[in-house]
Amino acid sequence: RLDETTGGLVIVDYKTGRSPAARFRERGDLFFQLEVYALLLSASGRWENPATHPATLRLIFLGDGAMLEKTVGQRDIEATEQQLRAVYTEMLVAFSTGSFTPCNRAGCFACGANGNGANSAGAARQLAAPAAPGQPRQSRGDRPPRRR
């Protein structure tokens, strides 16, 4: 959701779960999704001047009603763009070499490649071998269930 207030632009994202524990709030990626939205708004011209009118990023957790906020400006937008470019470059290298490095974050079960998932041994191989041309991609229902 986008709110335009007298204080500037507010980019809001609602999360259905509870807010993260204090130790996870310090991670640099908590607001990354909203930072990407801010980058896109800046690039589209929708956010007129991030250098002089910073935006507020707001996460609202419906599970416990907590609200977290972060203010971002031009430097933050540039850093987000650099981070996205770096991730994109890493992805191109991984696809071209077939070498996928697990993220090794505690609590990450997104792909199983870090050894936490139910099918971690085969997950990295599946990621490294995309579907052949003309073949459908693996649907979510074909994947092993996530562990929580």
Name the burial class of residue 77, with classes exposed (0-12), middle (13-18) and buried (19+) by CB atoms within 10 angstroms of its CB: buried
* pLDDT for position 30: 87
Q: What is the pLDDT of residues 112-126, one digit of tens each?
A: 555 544 444 444 444
* pLDDT for position 62: 94
> Which has more pLDDT, 50 or 15?
15
Q: pTM for the whole thing?
A: 0.65
Q: What is the pLDDT of residues 21-34, one digit of tens each?
A: 887 777 767 899 99
